Structures are given as structure tokens and as C-alpha cells.
């Protein structure tokens, strides 16, 4: 399907502006990460107790006071927007789950009737630390093999450009998650890996067309070739991006609080990944080619 035909947008003409834009977004994210003391990990990685409870006619200050009376003064409490559901996070020790639920039943007898617990998770600190290290290893291994594939399928320079694009996507997404105060959980990690796959797939599609056009239009300058290739893949990029984002928006709206962070992370990543395949990965390859031509005029 080719909904957009015969476009002639000067994508590569905007590449320097996009470098500056990406740098600005990266700096905002890095500042936010520094201010928050680094990545904010969920109990999946730090260990602890998470309880999501439905407490009708209660407010967050009452819930906080109830837990403080039970000895959990450091508990983190969030109210799910537009609902009467409260997410409680605290240390996991000395039968914390039973004590928290007993405190809620005592202070909110009407609200805590029946099965008022919607979700409950408990992870030990050792298991959380192991999950964190294993998650990092999984991400690094997946990125390594993706870059190895790019290197063998195209050229080493193109692999470097793809690596820059991937790290650009991951760091920007991590920074924006910090800005929006989203915790790193297993769901968010899954979204990050999905973003890496989506971004590299989009990059490969554009790289493939660039390589084909480099063979077909040998007499044209690289600047025109890169713009032509990106315009030729524009319809596919827009259709894929919009259809994926629409499905993701549906998850954000109707998926519920459990999947919201996954969908939100994916939403940011889809936009950044599509942008980077054109304005970062392809632009870096073009600049590398132009630098090579300038240094080796005899090979032109």
C-alpha cells in the first residue's frame, strides 16, 4: 500500500537541526535522571511489597496515616487517577503483607469488605538485584547481536550509525521516563526491548532502500540519494508507525493501570524510534560518507 506518492521532502537538509533537537532532549533527560538520583527502579528490581487496593470513599492522606499507624511511615502511596484504587509500596519484611491488609481493614472497614485487594506482588531484595543484573545482560546481548547483524548485512560504518541510533533511542526514553516519573519495571523493560526491535527494523528498511538507490543512481550525489530513499520508504514508515501507535494508544486508554507503564513507554519509543531511523541513523551514515568523500577526493 502506497498512500503517499512522489514526495520530495528534503529530510537530510534538517539533519543538523535534528542533531541539536536530540541533544536538547538528551540533556533534559540526563538532568532529570541526575535530579532523581538515577533510574527509579520498581520493586521488580529492588525488592519489596506492592499492593493495589480498592478503598471506596478514602483519600490518600487517610491511607498514608493508616499505614503510618501500623509502622510503615516510609510507604509510597499513589492513587490511580480517576479511580478509588491505591497502589502501596513498602519494604517486604516481618509479614508486611498481612500487616498492611490488617491495617486497611481496621481503618476502612466498609471499603475493605470482601476481596478489596486487586494486585499483590512481593519480591525479595536478593531476587530483585539478580533480576536487575540479568535484565542488563539481556539488553546488552540483544543489542550486540542486532549490531552484528547490521555490520554483516551492510557496512561497519552503517553498523556504527545503527548503534548510535539505538543508544540515542534508549537514553532518550530513559530520560523521558524519569521526567514523567515512571519506574523501571519488568513491563517497562519489555517495552524497551520492543522499542529496540522496532527502531532497528525501521532503520533496516531505510538502509535497504539507500543501498539499492546507491547502486541504481551511481551518478547522483549522496545527498539526493539519501533523500530519495527516505521519501520512497515514507509511506511504509507512516502506515506502520500510525497503525502501531493507534494500537498502543488503545492499550494506554483501556489497558488498565497494570499495563499503562508498558504502553506509555512504548508510545514514547515508537515516536523516537521512527524519528531516529531517518534523522539519526541515516543522517550519521550520510555525514560519514560526506566526510570520507572530502578526505578521499580521488575516490569520488
Residue showing cell 483501556: 254
CA distance 96 to 51: 10
Question: So what's the pLDDT on residue 299?
Answer: 57
Q: Count other Cβ atoms within 10 Å, centred on residue 106.
A: 12
Bridge partners, 54 (sequence order): 85
By the 8 A CB rule, do 157 and 282 touch?
Answer: no
Domain ranges in the chain with CATH number 1.20.1640.10: 11-41+127-299
Question: So what's the pLDDT on residue 117?
Answer: 80
- pLDDT tens per residue, range 225-281: 888 988 988 888 888 888 999 999 998 888 777 788 899 999 999 999 999 988 998
CA distance 144 to 131: 20
Average pLDDT for the chain: 83
Domain ranges in the chain with CATH number 3.30.70.1070: 48-122
What Rg, from alpha-carbon coordinates, does the chain have? 24
Q: Count other Cβ atoms within 10 Å, centred on residue 188.
A: 22
pLDDT category of residue 22 using cuts at 50, 70 and 90: very high
The CATH topology of domain 48-122 is Alpha-Beta Plaits (3.30.70)
- pLDDT tens per residue, range 126-147: 666 677 777 778 778 877 887 7
Query: What DSSP assignment string belongs to 224-285?
Result: HHHHHHHHHTHHHHHHHHHHHHHHHHHHHHHS-HHHHHHHHHHHHHHHHHHHHIIIIIIHHH
CA distance 26 to 9: 26
Question: So what's the pLDDT on residue 113?
Answer: 67
Q: Which residues of 46-58 are buried (b: 16+ CB within 10 A; e: fewer)?
A: bbbbbbbbbbeeb
Residues 6+ apart with CB under 8 A from 63: 55, 77, 86, 88, 104
Question: So what's the pLDDT on residue 144?
Answer: 81
The CATH topology of domain 11-41+127-299 is Multidrug efflux transporter AcrB transmembrane fold (1.20.1640)
CA distance 33 to 119: 29
CA distance 122 to 144: 33
CA 278 vs CA 15, 18, 117: distances in Å: 9, 10, 46
Mean pLDDT of 138-164: 80
User: Which of 17, 86, 39 has its CA nearest to residue 265?
Assistant: 39
Question: So what's the pLDDT on residue 3?
Answer: 61
CA distance 53 to 110: 13
Q: What is the pTM of this model?
A: 0.78
Amino acid at each position: 500500500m502506497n498512500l503517499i506518492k512522489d514526495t520530495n521532502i528534503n529530510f537530510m537538509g534538517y539533519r543538523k537541526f535534528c542533531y541539536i533537537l536530540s541533544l536538547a532532549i538528551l540533556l533534559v533527560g540526563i538532568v532529570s535522571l541526575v535530579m532523581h538520583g538515577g533510574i527509579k527502579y520498581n520493586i521488580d528490581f529492588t525488592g519489596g511489597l506492592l499492593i493495589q487496593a480498592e478503598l471506596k470513599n478514602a483519600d490518600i492522606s487517610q491511607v498514608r496515616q493508616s499505614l503510618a499507624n501500623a509502622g510503615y511511615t516510609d510507604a509510597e502511596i499513589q492513587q490511580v487517577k480517576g479511580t478509588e484504587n491505591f497502589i502501596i509500596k513498602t519494604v517486604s519484611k516481618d509479614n508486611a503483607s498481612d500487616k498492611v491488609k490488617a491495617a486497611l481493614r481496621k481503618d476502612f472497614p466498609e471499603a475493605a469488605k470482601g476481596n478489596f485487594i486487586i494486585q499483590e506482588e512481593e519480591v525479595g531484595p536478593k531476587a530483585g538485584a539478580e533480576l536487575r543484573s540479568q535484565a542488563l545482560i539481556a539488553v546488552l546481548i540483544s543489542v550486540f547481536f542486532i549490531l552484528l547483524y547490521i555490520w554483516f548485512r551492510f557496512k561497519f560504518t552503517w553498523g556504527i550509525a545503527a548503534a548510535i541510533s539505538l543508544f540515542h533511542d534508549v537514553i532518550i526514553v530513559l530520560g523521558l521516563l524519569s521526567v514523567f516519573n515512571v519506574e523501571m519495571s519488568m513491563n517497562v523493560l519489555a517495552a524497551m526491548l520492543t522499542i529496540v526491535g522496532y527502531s532497528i527494523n525501521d532503520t533496516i528498511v531505510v538502509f535497504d532502500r539507500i543501498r539499492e538507490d546507491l547502486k541504481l543512481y551511481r551518478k547522483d550525489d549522496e545527498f539526493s540519494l539519501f533523500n530519495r530513499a527516505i521519501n520512497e520508504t515514507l509511506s511504509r514508515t507512516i502506515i506502520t508507525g500510525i497503525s502501531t501507535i493507534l494500537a498502543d494508544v488503545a492499550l494506554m486508554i483501556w489497558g488498565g493501570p497494570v499495563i499503562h507503564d508498558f504502553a506509555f513507554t512504548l508510545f514514547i519509543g515508537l515516536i523516537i524510534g521512527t524519528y531516529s531511523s531517518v534523522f539519526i541513523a541515516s543522517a550519521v551514515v550520510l555525514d560519514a560518507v560526506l566526510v570520507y568523500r572530502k578526505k578521499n577526493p580521488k575516490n569520488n
